[in-house]
Amino acid sequence: MREFYNVSRQLSVIALLFFILLAAGCAQIPRASVVGEQEQIEIVDRPPPVPNGSIYQARRGYQPLFEDRRPRAMGDILTIVLDEQVSASKNARTNASRTGSSSLELAQLPDVLDTLAEYGFDLSGASDFNGGGGAQANNSFTGTITVSVLEVMNNGNLRVRGEKQIAINQGTEFIRFSGVVNPRTITTQNTVPSTQVADARIEYVGDGYINEAQHMGWLQRFFLNVSPF
Protein backbone atom coordinates (compact mmCIF):
# COMPACT_ATOMS: atom_id res chain seq x y z
CA MET A 1 0.00 0.00 0.00
CA ARG A 2 2.84 2.35 0.84
CA GLU A 3 4.53 1.61 -2.50
CA PHE A 4 1.29 2.45 -4.33
CA TYR A 5 1.10 5.74 -2.43
CA ASN A 6 4.69 6.61 -3.38
CA VAL A 7 4.09 5.79 -7.06
CA SER A 8 0.90 7.85 -7.08
CA ARG A 9 2.71 10.77 -5.48
CA GLN A 10 5.52 10.61 -8.04
CA LEU A 11 3.03 10.55 -10.90
CA SER A 12 1.25 13.58 -9.44
CA VAL A 13 4.53 15.50 -9.22
CA ILE A 14 5.43 14.56 -12.80
CA ALA A 15 1.98 15.61 -14.03
CA LEU A 16 2.28 18.93 -12.19
CA LEU A 17 5.72 19.60 -13.69
CA PHE A 18 4.45 18.71 -17.15
CA PHE A 19 1.52 21.11 -16.75
CA ILE A 20 3.84 23.92 -15.62
CA LEU A 21 6.19 23.37 -18.58
CA LEU A 22 3.25 23.23 -20.99
CA ALA A 23 1.74 26.44 -19.62
CA ALA A 24 5.11 28.20 -19.72
CA GLY A 25 5.62 27.10 -23.32
CA CYS A 26 2.20 28.39 -24.35
CA ALA A 27 3.02 31.74 -22.75
CA GLN A 28 6.01 32.13 -25.09
CA ILE A 29 3.99 31.70 -28.31
CA PRO A 30 4.45 34.93 -30.31
CA ARG A 31 1.35 36.73 -31.43
CA ALA A 32 0.48 36.99 -35.10
CA SER A 33 1.56 40.14 -36.91
CA VAL A 34 -1.17 42.63 -37.77
CA VAL A 35 0.53 43.58 -41.03
CA GLY A 36 1.33 40.00 -42.05
CA GLU A 37 4.48 38.25 -43.10
CA GLN A 38 6.96 39.80 -45.49
CA GLU A 39 6.12 39.00 -49.12
CA GLN A 40 8.74 38.33 -51.75
CA ILE A 41 8.72 40.79 -54.64
CA GLU A 42 9.32 39.19 -58.02
CA ILE A 43 10.54 41.82 -60.45
CA VAL A 44 10.43 40.75 -64.08
CA ASP A 45 13.72 41.17 -65.90
CA ARG A 46 13.77 43.80 -68.59
CA PRO A 47 13.92 42.42 -72.12
CA PRO A 48 17.09 43.16 -74.08
CA PRO A 49 16.95 46.15 -76.44
CA VAL A 50 15.84 45.42 -79.97
CA PRO A 51 18.35 46.59 -82.60
CA ASN A 52 15.80 48.51 -84.66
CA GLY A 53 17.85 51.69 -84.97
CA SER A 54 15.62 53.65 -82.53
CA ILE A 55 16.71 55.25 -79.28
CA TYR A 56 13.24 54.81 -77.75
CA GLN A 57 12.51 51.26 -76.67
CA ALA A 58 8.84 50.76 -75.80
CA ARG A 59 9.47 47.51 -73.98
CA ARG A 60 12.05 49.09 -71.68
CA GLY A 61 9.37 50.90 -69.69
CA TYR A 62 7.51 54.18 -70.02
CA GLN A 63 8.88 57.30 -68.33
CA PRO A 64 7.27 60.68 -69.18
CA LEU A 65 9.80 63.29 -70.24
CA PHE A 66 8.18 66.22 -68.40
CA GLU A 67 7.02 64.41 -65.27
CA ASP A 68 8.70 63.66 -61.96
CA ARG A 69 9.61 60.04 -61.51
CA ARG A 70 7.01 58.44 -59.25
CA PRO A 71 6.41 54.85 -58.17
CA ARG A 72 4.34 53.09 -60.76
CA ALA A 73 5.74 49.53 -60.94
CA MET A 74 6.45 46.58 -58.67
CA GLY A 75 9.58 47.06 -56.62
CA ASP A 76 9.44 50.87 -56.63
CA ILE A 77 9.73 52.52 -53.23
CA LEU A 78 8.05 55.47 -51.54
CA THR A 79 8.04 56.97 -48.06
CA ILE A 80 5.02 56.90 -45.77
CA VAL A 81 4.76 59.83 -43.35
CA LEU A 82 3.14 58.43 -40.20
CA ASP A 83 0.91 60.99 -38.52
CA GLU A 84 -1.88 59.18 -36.70
CA GLN A 85 -3.89 61.05 -34.09
CA VAL A 86 -6.80 59.14 -32.55
CA SER A 87 -8.99 60.44 -29.74
CA ALA A 88 -12.19 58.86 -28.45
CA SER A 89 -14.40 59.38 -25.42
CA LYS A 90 -17.64 57.88 -24.13
CA ASN A 91 -19.92 58.69 -21.21
CA ALA A 92 -23.06 56.90 -20.03
CA ARG A 93 -25.37 57.34 -17.06
CA THR A 94 -28.50 55.45 -15.98
CA ASN A 95 -31.06 56.26 -13.27
CA ALA A 96 -33.98 54.06 -12.25
CA SER A 97 -36.32 54.15 -9.24
CA ARG A 98 -39.45 52.33 -8.16
CA THR A 99 -41.70 52.47 -5.06
CA GLY A 100 -44.78 50.50 -4.01
CA SER A 101 -47.01 49.89 -0.98
CA SER A 102 -49.95 47.68 -0.05
CA SER A 103 -52.06 47.25 3.10
CA LEU A 104 -55.05 45.18 4.30
CA GLU A 105 -57.14 45.54 7.46
CA LEU A 106 -59.81 43.11 8.71
CA ALA A 107 -62.20 45.41 10.61
CA GLN A 108 -65.68 43.84 10.33
CA LEU A 109 -65.95 40.11 10.79
CA PRO A 110 -68.46 37.77 12.47
CA ASP A 111 -68.00 37.10 16.16
CA VAL A 112 -66.72 33.66 15.40
CA LEU A 113 -63.89 35.18 13.35
CA ASP A 114 -62.98 38.01 15.73
CA THR A 115 -59.55 36.57 16.22
CA LEU A 116 -58.78 37.22 12.54
CA ALA A 117 -59.32 40.95 13.05
CA GLU A 118 -56.01 41.09 14.80
CA TYR A 119 -54.29 39.99 11.63
CA GLY A 120 -53.55 42.06 8.59
CA PHE A 121 -50.59 43.14 6.59
CA ASP A 122 -48.90 46.29 5.53
CA LEU A 123 -46.19 46.09 2.88
CA SER A 124 -44.03 48.77 1.33
CA GLY A 125 -40.95 48.67 -0.82
CA ALA A 126 -38.57 50.95 -2.66
CA SER A 127 -35.84 50.43 -5.22
CA ASP A 128 -33.31 52.92 -6.51
CA PHE A 129 -30.50 52.40 -9.02
CA ASN A 130 -27.83 54.81 -10.23
CA GLY A 131 -25.13 53.85 -12.68
CA GLY A 132 -22.56 55.66 -14.73
CA GLY A 133 -19.47 55.01 -16.77
CA GLY A 134 -16.92 56.78 -18.88
CA ALA A 135 -13.95 55.98 -21.07
CA GLN A 136 -11.36 58.10 -22.87
CA ALA A 137 -8.44 57.15 -25.12
CA ASN A 138 -5.78 59.22 -26.87
CA ASN A 139 -3.17 57.74 -29.20
CA SER A 140 -0.44 59.40 -31.26
CA PHE A 141 1.98 57.83 -33.73
CA THR A 142 4.43 59.87 -35.80
CA GLY A 143 7.43 58.93 -37.91
CA THR A 144 8.42 57.77 -41.38
CA ILE A 145 8.89 54.39 -43.03
CA THR A 146 9.86 53.52 -46.59
CA VAL A 147 7.79 50.82 -48.28
CA SER A 148 7.92 48.86 -51.53
CA VAL A 149 5.23 48.37 -54.15
CA LEU A 150 4.03 44.77 -54.02
CA GLU A 151 1.28 44.95 -56.61
CA VAL A 152 -0.14 47.34 -59.18
CA MET A 153 -3.91 46.89 -59.16
CA ASN A 154 -6.11 47.05 -62.23
CA ASN A 155 -7.35 50.52 -61.29
CA GLY A 156 -3.79 51.83 -60.89
CA ASN A 157 -3.64 51.80 -57.10
CA LEU A 158 -0.49 50.48 -55.45
CA ARG A 159 -0.44 47.85 -52.72
CA VAL A 160 2.57 48.59 -50.55
CA ARG A 161 4.31 47.07 -47.57
CA GLY A 162 7.43 47.87 -45.60
CA GLU A 163 9.29 46.97 -42.44
CA LYS A 164 11.92 48.72 -40.35
CA GLN A 165 14.03 47.06 -37.66
CA ILE A 166 15.92 49.03 -35.03
CA ALA A 167 18.24 47.16 -32.65
CA ILE A 168 18.94 48.96 -29.37
CA ASN A 169 21.19 47.18 -26.85
CA GLN A 170 19.42 43.92 -25.98
CA GLY A 171 16.12 44.65 -27.75
CA THR A 172 14.84 45.07 -31.29
CA GLU A 173 12.01 47.35 -32.35
CA PHE A 174 9.89 46.49 -35.40
CA ILE A 175 7.85 49.01 -37.37
CA ARG A 176 5.63 47.49 -40.06
CA PHE A 177 3.24 49.14 -42.49
CA SER A 178 0.94 47.97 -45.28
CA GLY A 179 -1.91 49.50 -47.26
CA VAL A 180 -3.19 50.69 -50.62
CA VAL A 181 -1.88 53.97 -52.06
CA ASN A 182 -3.50 56.11 -54.73
CA PRO A 183 -0.68 57.34 -57.03
CA ARG A 184 -2.34 60.76 -57.19
CA THR A 185 -1.60 61.32 -53.50
CA ILE A 186 2.16 60.84 -53.93
CA THR A 187 3.92 64.19 -53.53
CA THR A 188 6.90 65.48 -55.48
CA GLN A 189 9.12 64.38 -52.56
CA ASN A 190 7.91 60.80 -53.14
CA THR A 191 5.99 60.76 -49.84
CA VAL A 192 2.42 59.89 -48.87
CA PRO A 193 0.66 60.82 -45.60
CA SER A 194 -0.54 57.76 -43.72
CA THR A 195 -3.96 59.38 -43.36
CA GLN A 196 -4.44 59.05 -47.14
CA VAL A 197 -3.61 55.33 -47.31
CA ALA A 198 -6.51 52.90 -47.61
CA ASP A 199 -6.63 49.69 -45.55
CA ALA A 200 -3.63 50.94 -43.57
CA ARG A 201 -2.17 48.56 -41.01
CA ILE A 202 0.48 49.96 -38.70
CA GLU A 203 2.37 47.88 -36.17
CA TYR A 204 5.03 48.89 -33.66
CA VAL A 205 6.30 46.02 -31.52
CA GLY A 206 9.52 44.95 -29.88
CA ASP A 207 11.27 41.98 -28.37
CA GLY A 208 13.96 41.43 -25.76
CA TYR A 209 14.03 41.42 -21.99
CA ILE A 210 12.62 44.96 -21.76
CA ASN A 211 9.58 43.93 -23.78
CA GLU A 212 9.18 40.76 -21.71
CA ALA A 213 9.22 42.80 -18.50
CA GLN A 214 6.12 44.64 -19.73
CA HIS A 215 4.08 41.44 -20.00
CA MET A 216 2.18 39.76 -17.18
CA GLY A 217 3.35 36.29 -16.20
CA TRP A 218 1.32 33.29 -17.36
CA LEU A 219 0.44 32.17 -13.83
CA GLN A 220 -0.71 35.65 -12.89
CA ARG A 221 -2.82 35.83 -16.06
CA PHE A 222 -4.36 32.47 -15.15
CA PHE A 223 -5.47 33.66 -11.72
CA LEU A 224 -6.63 36.95 -13.22
CA ASN A 225 -8.96 35.08 -15.59
CA VAL A 226 -10.43 32.70 -13.00
CA SER A 227 -10.66 35.18 -10.14
CA PRO A 228 -14.27 36.30 -9.48
CA PHE A 229 -13.07 39.64 -8.08
The pTM (predicted TM-score) of the whole model is 0.58
In this predicted structure, what is the pLDDT of residue 71? 73
Query: What's the whole-number average pLDDT of the chain?
Result: 74
What is the average per-residue pLDDT within 78-95?
85
Tell me the pLDDT tens digit for each residue of 97-143: 777 776 656 555 555 555 555 555 555 667 777 777 787 878 888 89
As a whole-number percent, the residues of the chain with pLDDT over 90 amount to 17
Q: For residues 84 and 202, is the Cβ–Cβ distance under 8 A?
A: yes
What sign does the CA torsion over 144, 148, 150, 156 have? positive
Which 3 state secondary structure label does DSSP give 133?
Answer: strand
Q: Of 69 and 120, which is predicted with more confidence?
A: 69
In this predicted structure, what is the pLDDT of residue 197? 94
What is the average per-residue pLDDT within 51-68?
63
